[in-house]
Amino acid sequence: MRKILICTLIMILAFSGLVSAQNGAEMTALDKTTAVEKLLYGTEQTGSLVERVAKIERDMYGRETNDSLVAKLDRVYGYMKESSPAAPSFSIKLNAVEWVLTHNITVQPAKTRLESLEKVMLGNGAQGSFDSRLDKLVQLAFPAGQVEVENTTLVKDSLIKIKIITPLDTKSSRTGDTVAFQAADDVYVGGTLVIGKGAPGTGKVTKVEPAKNFGRDAKLEMSFDSVITIDGTNLETLLGEKAKEETKSMATAAGATVAGLVILGPVGIVGGAFVQGQDITIPAGTMLYIQTKADTEVYGIKGK
């Protein structure tokens, strides 16, 4: 019987060739429209930009304005993404309400999340603009009807425990495939919540070599590129040495198995060769640690 799980953690800990592809180019009107649509509806919508932005305004605010297309997009995109202590963004308010009610952040579009939260709090979905509906939920969920946020810094090499969502194996996975994962626990800086449990993250498969004849081992490498913070920041992450050591400590402390985490094998054997000639399977639910790539300023929710 193949000992597939034994090689899985070894594979994860052995490789750190992580590349984060970031595009620093300024966003176009189409970029902003598509980004807002994906946040609100889950997918890019059809029609002309004028029609699509008009729909966004009606759904978000309940009315269209007479501003220019660029001004409309700047306003709605800014409201979705940009926070200050006096004016939390739409994204951080929605994340805050969901976290208070369920202690979990989901990856569904805002429209679906609003409907689900309204059913939990009110018994049924509500009518009106997304903005007014969210404000009503905030009034019900928070003292004084306000989400208290503050700016803080997630320092370089801060640890984040994650759970892999995408099952992977060397028989079917291909280089370039997306790897989906989630934050397995809340992450705080002091008393400020900066990453909620369930926050989505993405990476990719960077190398696949199936098992071959003559006992040649399968190899599977992946990157863990980013995770979404409570304010919607795309936080750059990696599987560095600190994260590897914490993953090994977690598995050892649990007696070599952790709720879906792979088996370590004999103590001290954490960086050796794979089991000869074996394919590698990483099941959904596998847990490990990653770490932040650089100091990053984010807004978080005040108070535990």
**Ordered DSSP codes for 184-214:** SS-EEETTEEEE-TT-EEEEEEEEEE--BTT
Q: In the structure encoding, which two tokens stand for residue 193, read together?
A: 């919540």
Cα–Cα dist 21/19, whole Å: 6
At the topology level of CATH, where does 4-23+152-302 sit?
Answer: Lipocalin (2.40.128)
Query: Which pLDDT belongs to residue 250?
Result: 84
Query: Which pLDDT belongs to residue 254?
Result: 63
CB-count exposure of residue 266 (10 Å: 0-12, 13-18, 19+): exposed
pLDDT tens, N- to C-terminus, the chain (304 residues): 444 443 444 444 443 333 333 334 688 999 999 999 999 999 999 999 999 999 999 999 999 999 999 999 999 999 998 988 889 999 999 999 999 999 999 989 999 999 999 999 998 878 899 999 999 999 999 988 889 999 999 999 999 999 999 988 888 888 999 999 999 999 999 999 999 999 999 999 988 887 765 555 677 888 899 999 999 999 999 988 899 889 888 877 765 443 334 433 332 222 333 334 577 788 898 889 999 999 999 999 987 5
Query: Which pLDDT belongs to residue 51?
Result: 96
Query: Which pLDDT belongs to residue 257?
Result: 44
Query: Which pLDDT belongs to residue 179?
Result: 92
Cα–Cα dist 212/276, whole Å: 10
Residue 112: which H helix or E strand, with range? helix 110-122
User: What letter would DSSP give residue 145?
Assistant: G
Rounded alpha-carbon distances, angstroms, from residue 264 to 85, 208, 251, 252, 254: 45, 22, 7, 7, 10
Q: What residues does each domain of the chain span?
A: 4-23+152-302, 29-81, 96-144
Query: Which pLDDT belongs to residue 85?
Result: 87
